[in-house]
């Protein structure tokens, strides 16, 4: 009888030990996130520059060198592909912006959602797949001094993540790009590439601690 009891205690102890070993702390998750970011930077041949270099270059990134500036306050890495036509977002002003984007989970190296090209997305309420390229995301943005806030009005980000909250990482470029509409030949809207840590990401990214890579264009609504 004692032998059976000791055997059961051993088994339960091993189960408990396995459970403890499987548990990941927040620090563990953040370390995995940083590893995923570092691996992506290495794999893509990204040249990381600091904010001082970025400023000395006229707040631009050299795409021929695949430069991304690391924003120390937010942890976001940003590449400005195009500054865009028009002018910067004005202070004390609220406007609507149209965005096309691609969102990739860097932990799983998988695209979550996109509307920058033809892509299928299953909508439960409709019971069918839709072509996401038909839907341009629209967000309402307000600037007060150095503070920029925003919310999604419509689009795939709101549908996929079930939230109107705009990731903080999406707002970082608005300090450096123009937000306009093409009015003449040669005009192009702003486009950026971002590596966004969970702390500046969606609610989904924040709750499960994963970084995302984005390609986003911004166009002002008339």
pLDDT tier at 17 (50, 70, 90 boundaries)?
Answer: very low
Output the CA–CA distances (angstroms, integers) from residue 130 to 121, 157, 175, 195, in the order listed: 5, 14, 34, 27
In whole angstroms, give the CA distance from residue 136 to residue 83.
20
What ranges make up the beta strands (E) of 39-146? 47-49, 67-70, 77-82, 93-105, 110-114, 120-123, 128-131, 137-144
Residue 11: per-residue pLDDT = 43
pLDDT tens-place string over residues 154-173: 999 999 999 999 999 999 99
Q: Quote the pTM value.
A: 0.88
In whole angstroms, give the CA distance from residue 26 to residue 186.
48
DSSP symbol at 183: -
Residue 146: per-residue pLDDT = 87
Q: Which residues contact 134 (CB under 8 A, 6 or more apart)?
A: 115
pLDDT tier at 22 (50, 70, 90 boundaries)?
Answer: low
Average pLDDT over residues 101-114: 97
What value does the mean pLDDT of the chain take? Answer: 90
Question: In the chain, what are the domain boundaries?
Answer: 24-220
Asked: is 24-220 a CATH 3.90.70.10 domain? The reply is no
* Buried/exposed 60-80: b ≥16 CB within 10 Å, e otherwise: ebeeeeebbbbbeebbbbbbb
Residue 20 has pLDDT above 90, yes or no: no
């Amino acid at each position: 009888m004692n032998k059976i009891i000791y055997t059961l205690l051993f088994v339960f102890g091993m189960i408990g030990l396995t459970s403890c070993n499987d548990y990941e702390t927040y620090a563990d998750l953040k370390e995995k996130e940083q590893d995923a970011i570092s691996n992506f930077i290495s794999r893509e041949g990204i040249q990381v520059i600091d904010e001082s270099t970025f400023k000395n270059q006229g707040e631009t990134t050299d795409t021929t060198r695949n430069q991304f500036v690391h924003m120390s306050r937010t942890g976001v890495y940003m590449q400005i592909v195009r500054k865009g036509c028009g002018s910067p977002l004005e202070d004390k002003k609220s406007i609507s912006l149209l965005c096309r984007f691609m969102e990739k989970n860097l932990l799983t190296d998988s695209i979550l959602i996109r509307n920058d090209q033809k892509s299928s997305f299953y909508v439960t309420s409709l019971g069918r797949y839709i072509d996401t390229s038909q839907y341009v995301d629209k967000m309402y943005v307000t600037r007060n001094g150095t503070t920029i806030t925003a919310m999604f009005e419509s689009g795939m980000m709101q549908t996929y993540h079930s939230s109107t909250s705009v990731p903080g990482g999406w707002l970082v470029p608005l300090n450096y790009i123009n937000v306009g509409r093409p009015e003449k030949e040669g005009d192009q809207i702003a486009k950026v590439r971002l590596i966004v840590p969970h702390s500046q990401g969606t609610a989904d990214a924040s709750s499960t601690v994963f970084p995302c890579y984005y390609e986003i264009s911004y166009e002002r609504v008339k």
